Every structure is written in structure tokens, then in C-alpha cells.
Amino acid sequence: MLAMNYRGPYRVRADHKPYPEILHPEDAIVRVTRSCICGSDLHLYHGLVPDTRVGMTFGHEFIGIVEEIGPSVQNLKVGDHVIVPFNVACGKCVFCEQQMYGNCHESNSQATAVGGIFGYSHTAGGYDGGQAEYVRVPYADVGPTVIPAEMHPDDAVLLTDVVPTGYQAAEMGGIKPGDTVVVFGAGPVGIMAAKCAWLFGAGRVIVIDHIEYRLEFVKNYAQCEAYNFRSLEDPVLFIKKTTDWIGADVCIDAVGCEAAGSALQTITGVKLMLQAGAATALHWAINSVKKGGIVSIVGVYGPTGNLIPIGNVVNKGITIRANQASVKRLLPRLIEHIKEGRLDPKAIITHRVPLEEVGDAYHIFSAKLDNCIKTILIPPS
């Protein structure tokens, strides 16, 4: 079958690989009908996530048709069209019992780290991902969810990660009616976080990025304010000024660690590590949230040792909340929001690329070329 193949930082291509097999009675094999490239894949692509092995297939955002099921699978049948959450979750451990599917204790042999994630290095269980024609889905009775009949497949594929992650970013922010929410990052996740902030009653939503076409998009799509930090004297100062020197009630980091060369600029009084893995947006979030405010982090940090201004966290009494999204927990309410027209995820899709051209697709998304926001990969039929 055709599958994405990681050859090293900035080098991916489509290759022929063996078909996946049922390895455990609770496995299913899914024929992928659509997958996406995520900002999280870029951290792998940029070589920032430890133990990302050459030969691996990435892809944790995919939907497809159940092709085969193991003998213990009860909730799925061959032919079902399913949303497959990016979390690989056993459904039974102490964390899954609390619906913390992103923190499953069984699906990753390095159980002290994150739970299992499809196509996300051996630090997340070493599972091959869905940027392929077929994929093995472990614990098939737990995550996969049949796509509602009326749902557009482009909306369905965005329910595997981007929509729940944006929603959970807003939820973790503990937004109260009237709150000023600042979202750092106008990628798919930040766009969705801005949109979802309104669902929690935000009074003002501000998005910060430096890519003009994304700022333009989010302004219209999420009906929010959007600012280019390169045209601001200092984003922290700007947020303080515009909140009457109080600071934002909630700041959301939808950026994560930066690629080499993308490092941005220094912050007032803080000389940053201007290299791969820098955490500029997180600094800005901590420094611009109000005293007692909440910083919600969904941006992913691969390398250890990102410097963060922990003194300010303590002195300002900030609450930091962070996690991988728990997709399965959020699906029922997000399906409802889409059905009722409050969310329109598929509007963020800008590119539709055959899986054969996965190398070009990564380059375009990574370099933010061609007004790219979200890319769908289509496997050969």
C-alpha cells in the first residue's frame, strides 16, 4: 500500500509499505478515506520530537472505512465509516475511566509520558499513522466513532483532532462570560480555539500571529480581532494597554515549540533562546495574562528544557492548564455544535492533495505557502 514515509528532518515522501495486520483481538484495520497534516506533524517533520524513527508513517488525523476487525471487537462492523480520534486509548485504565483519553496509561509503553498517539514517534507509543491507504487501529471498541449520516466527511476528519483541541483549549481556559481571551497562533488549532471561545461566553477574542493571510482568515471566520505581532511594538505591552493594564483573563497557547529559523524576536526584558524549540508564545501568554488568570496550553513542546518565566507564574498567581485533547470525551457535544451550525470546521480546509504528493504538501504547510491553512491528503482509491 502507499504510505507516507519519514526519511529524516524536512524529508518525507510516499512509498510502498506492507499492509497493516491485526496484531491483537481488539484491533481493526481501517481503509483511510481522508487524512490531514497537523501542526503537530510539523514538530516531527522539523526533527523536534525525540525518538522519531526513519521509516515511520505519520498521521493522527484520519477517517475511513472499517476493513477488518479482530475477534474481540464488538462495537464496529466491517463497512462502518468512522472518525478515529488521534488518541490511542485502552478505555479501561485509571485515566481513561476519567475520560482522560489523551493520557491513557496502557497505550504507550512509556506510560509516564503522553498516552498513545497515531503516527507520533516512539515517545507516543510508536504506532504507525493514517497518512496511508490503511492503518491498524488498536482498542477499536474505544476510540472509533461512526460518522453521523448527515455529516460531511471534511467536518468528520477535523473532529479527529483540530476541533476538539481548539474546544478543549477554550474549555481549559475556564472562560467566564465577558472574559477577554487572547489566542496565540492562527493555525487550524488557534482558529478553532478562537471560534470556540465564544461558545464559552467570551466578551472579546484577540488572535495574535504574524502570517497575514491567516490573520485575515481568522478575523472573518471567528469574528474576532486579529493582530500581527511584527507590527506591534511588543505584543505583551499591546495586550496590557488594550485591557486597561489589567491583562487578559485567559491566554491560550496554540503555537507550541518553534522550528529552527522561525524564532521570532525578543520580548521586553527577556532575551529568548532564539533557536529551535523556543517557546516565545508561551512567554507572551504568561506575561500578558492578568494576575490570577489562566494560561491554557495546547501547543506541543517536543524538546525538554524550554525556558519559561516560572517566576512570573508564581508571582502573578497564574493557573496553567495544559493537555493533549481528549477527543472521545468531546465528540458528542462537538457533533451537536456542527449539526446546529455553531461550528463549521471544513471552512478551514485550503488544500486537497493526493497522498502521492505528501512531500510537497508538508513543505507547503510547513513554510506557510500558497495561503495554506489545512491540508487534506487523499489516498489513491
Asked if 135 contacts 143 with a C-beta cutoff of 8 angstroms, the reply is no
* 184: contact with ligand NAD by CB under 6 A: yes
Q: Which stretch binds ligand NAD (CB under 6 A): 65-73, 91-99, 250-258, 341-349?
A: 250-258
Comparison of 26 and 161: residue with beta carbon closer to Zn ion? 161
CA 343-349-355 angle, 5° bins: 135
Query: CA–CA separation, 92 vs 113, rounded Å?
Result: 18
Q: Pick from 85, 190, 247, 379 the residue near ligand NAD by CB under 6 A.
A: 190
**x/- site string to ligand NAD, residues 109 to 148, per CB under 6 A?**
----------------------------------------
**x/- site string to Zn ion, residues 17 to 56, per CB under 5 A?**
---------------------x-x----------------
Query: CA–CA separation, 50 vs 44, rounded Å?
Result: 8
Comparison of 256 and 277: residue with beta carbon closer to ligand NAD? 256
Q: What is the DSSP string of 179-233?
A: -EEEEE--SHHHHHHHHHHHHTT-SEEEEEES-HHHHHHHHHHTT-EEEEGGGSS
Q: Which amino acid is at 108?
A: N
Q: Which amino acid is at 92?
A: K
Asked if 58 contacts 168 with a C-beta cutoff of 8 angstroms, the reply is no
Rounded to the nearest whole angstrom, what is the least distance from the CB of residue 86 to Zn ion in the complex? 6
Q: Pick from 47, 299, 345, 379 the residue near ligand NAD by CB under 6 A.
A: 299
SS (H, E, C) 335-365: HHHHHCCCCCHHHHEEEEEEHHHHHHHHHHH
Give the three-state DSSP class for 240: helix
Comparison of 61 and 234: residue with beta carbon closer to Zn ion? 61
**x/- site string to ligand NAD, residues 36 to 55, per CB under 6 A?**
--xxx-xx------------
Q: Which stretch binds ligand NAD (CB under 6 A): 22-30, 249-257, 308-316, 346-354?
A: 249-257
Query: CA–CA separation, 351 vs 36, rounded Å?
Result: 10
Comparison of 40 and 287: residue with beta carbon closer to Zn ion? 40
List of residues contacting Zn ion (CB under 5 A): 38, 40, 61, 161
Q: Contact residues for ligand NAD (CB under 6 A)?
A: 38-40, 42-43, 161, 165, 184-190, 208-211, 214, 229, 254-256, 258, 264, 280-281, 298-300, 324-325
